[in-house]
Structure formats: structure tokens, C-alpha cells
């Protein structure tokens, strides 16, 4: 009769050193994996932050161009208002030709200061602001974008003042003459053959027009002061971001 030998199912008991070595190997594998993941996340965050900052700098540079254009536009309109009030004060008929042209030119456009907050809002909504570790940079960014929110109100107030100027012009200016000026400007012809008369030379009516114009003048000056302040803040922030994040 055959005798079957069963294999020895009992394993040799591991000693402490073997258990410790396995523990060390597992610990190192987990730790290295954790470190590698952190490195990947750090690189990803760094690249993402660089993209955000570059985009924000682009926004700020666009803002500075807009501020300068608005300032120049407003200064030109201030000069027009100054001339209109001078002509109305002098009350000389031979100035009417220039007076009509400037009055119509003044109401054919306005500067709109609307800074770009696209990148900032994107960083807020996506949690990208957390990537900015230096508090003084975060404070500078927050300060600028808090400041420019006020332009929504100021721009609406400027439009209101402009509408007041438009609504008061019918006190002394002939609508048909103003319309003819628009048609000539459209055809790139700014010349006027005649010296049209005002529909009223009443001093109360003229004073009412001048009152609206000087209110608008004051607001344009105020808008320029605020645009200049915002421009300085934007330029400072551009310089700060470029220096801290090594941008070109």
C-alpha cells in the first residue's frame, strides 16, 4: 500500500527584522507616492498661477490704455465746454458758427471707464486666489479690484450729466442746425457756410444751459482724477506682479 506524503503547510515564522523591513518598504512606497503627488500638484499650481498672473497683467495693461484714452477724451470735452461757456458769456453773434459745432460735437460721444476684472473674477470663482501665497500681493490685487468697482457708479453718473446737457440744449440751439452738423460730420465735412442764430438769447435760458455744462465739466474733471489714480494703481500692480512672478 502506497503512503502519500502531504506537503508541510506550516510556514516558517518570520522574525522581527523581516516584518520591520516590509513595514519600511511599504512606508517608503506610500511616502514617495505622496511626495510625487505633491510635486505634481505643486508644478500644476505653479503653472496655473503663472497663467493667471500673466492674464491679469494683460487685463491691467488694457485698463491703463483705457484710462489714458478716457482722460484724453475728457480733457478734450473740458476744453470744448470751456469754449462754449466763454462764447455764451460773450454773447456775440459771430461766434454762433463755432458754438453750434462744439455743442453738437460734445454730445456725439462719451468716455466709458469700464476696467476689466475677467481674470480676477475667474480666480475668485475657481479658487485660484489661494495660489497667491504672499499676503502683500493678495492685498494689492484685492485693493485694486475693490477700487475699480466704483467706476460702475461714476460712469452712470457721467451718463446722467451728459443726458442733462442733451436735454437742456433745446433752450437755445436750433435742432435743424444741429442735425445738419451731424450730417456734415458723417460726410467728413466740418465746414459751415452760415453763422446760424440761436433760437433764444434770453439770459435765463443761456444761464440754464451753462449751468448744466459746468456741472458736466466738473464731473469730467473728477472722473479724470479717479482714472489717473486707478491708472497709477494698475501700473504699480503690473510692476509688482512682473517682479514677483518673473514675467517679461
The verdict on residue 8 lying in a domain is no
- For 158-167, the pLDDT digits (tens) are 999 999 999 9
pLDDT score, position 15: 66
Choice among 16-20, 51-55, 228-232 with the minimum mean pLDDT = 16-20
Reduced to 3 states (helix: H, G, I; strand: E, B; else coil), residue 205 is helix
67 and 227 Cβ atoms separated by less than 8 Å: yes
102 and 190 Cβ atoms separated by less than 8 Å: no
What does the alpha-carbon distance between residue 56 and residue 47 come to, in Å, rounded to a whole number? 14
The verdict on residue 10 lying in a domain is no
pLDDT score, position 103: 94
The verdict on residue 159 lying in a domain is yes
The verdict on residue 2 lying in a domain is no
By residue range, what is the domain housing residue 201?
Answer: 16-245
Residue 2 has pLDDT above 60, yes or no: no
Residue 235 has pLDDT above 70, yes or no: yes
pLDDT score, position 32: 59
pLDDT score, position 22: 66
pLDDT score, position 126: 87
Q: Would you say the pTM of this structure is higher than 0.85? A: no
Residue 152 has pLDDT above 60, yes or no: yes
- For 79-134, the pLDDT digits (tens) are 999 999 999 998 777 789 999 999 999 988 888 899 999 999 999 888 888 888 88
pLDDT score, position 81: 96
Number of domains making up the chain: 1
- Count of beta carbons in the 10 Å neighbourhood of residue 77: 21
- For 167-223, the pLDDT digits (tens) are 999 999 999 999 998 888 777 665 556 789 999 999 999 999 999 999 999 999 999
The answer to whether the Cα torsion of 88, 89, 94, 95 is positive or negative is: negative
Kindly state the average pLDDT of the residues 7-23: 60
- State the chain's mean pLDDT as an integer: 85
Residue 140 has pLDDT above 90, yes or no: yes
pLDDT score, position 18: 65
The verdict on residue 3 lying in a domain is no
Contacts of 234 (CB under 8 A, 6+ apart): 60, 63, 64, 67, 115, 144
223 and 158 Cβ atoms separated by less than 8 Å: yes
Helical pair 135-147 and 203-245, crossing angle rounded to 10 deg: 160
The verdict on residue 4 lying in a domain is no
Cα diameter, the chain? 142
The verdict on residue 103 lying in a domain is yes
What does the alpha-carbon distance between residue 63 and residue 100 come to, in Å, rounded to a whole number? 34
The verdict on residue 28 lying in a domain is yes
Amino acid at each position: 500500500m502506497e503512503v502519500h506524503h502531504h506537503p508541510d503547510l506550516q510556514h516558517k515564522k518570520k522574525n522581527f527584522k523581516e516584518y520591520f523591513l516590509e513595514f519600511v518598504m511599504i512606508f517608503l512606497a506610500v511616502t514617495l507616492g505622496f511626495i510625487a503627488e505633491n510635486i505634481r500638484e505643486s508644478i500644476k499650481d505653479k503653472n496655473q498661477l503663472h497663467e493667471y498672473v500673466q492674464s491679469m497683467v494683460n487685463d491691467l495693461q488694457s485698463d491703463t490704455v483705457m484710462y489714458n484714452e478716457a482722460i484724453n477724451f475728457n480733457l478734450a470735452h473740458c476744453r470744448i465746454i470751456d469754449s462754449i461757456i466763454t462764447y455764451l458769456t460773450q454773447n456775440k453773434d459771430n461766434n454762433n458758427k463755432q458754438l453750434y459745432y462744439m455743442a453738437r460735437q460734445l454730445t456725439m460721444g462719451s468716455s466709458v471707464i469700464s476696467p476689466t476684472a475677467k481674470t480676477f473674477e475667474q480666480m475668485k470663482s475657481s479658487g485660484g486666489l489661494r495660489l497667491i501665497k504672499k499676503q502683500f500681493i493678495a492685498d494689492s490685487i484685492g485693493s485694486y479690484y475693490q477700487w475699480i468697482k466704483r467706476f460702475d457708479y461714476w460712469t452712470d453718473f457721467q451718463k446722467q450729466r451728459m443726458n442733462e446737457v442733451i436735454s437742456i440744449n433745446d433752450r437755445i440751439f436750433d435742432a435743424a442746425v444741429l442735425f445738419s452738423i451731424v450730417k456734415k460730420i458723417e460726410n467728413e465735412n466740418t465746414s459751415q457756410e452760415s453763422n446760424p442764430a440761436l433760437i433764444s438769447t434770453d439770459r435765463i435760458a443761456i444761464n440754464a444751459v451753462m449751468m448744466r455744462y459746468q456741472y458736466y465739466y466738473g464731473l469730467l474733471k473728477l472722473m479724470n482724477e479717479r482714472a489717473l489714480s486707478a491708472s497709477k494703481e494698475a501700473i504699480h500692480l503690473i510692476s509688482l506682479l512682473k517682479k514677483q512672478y518673473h514675467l517679461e
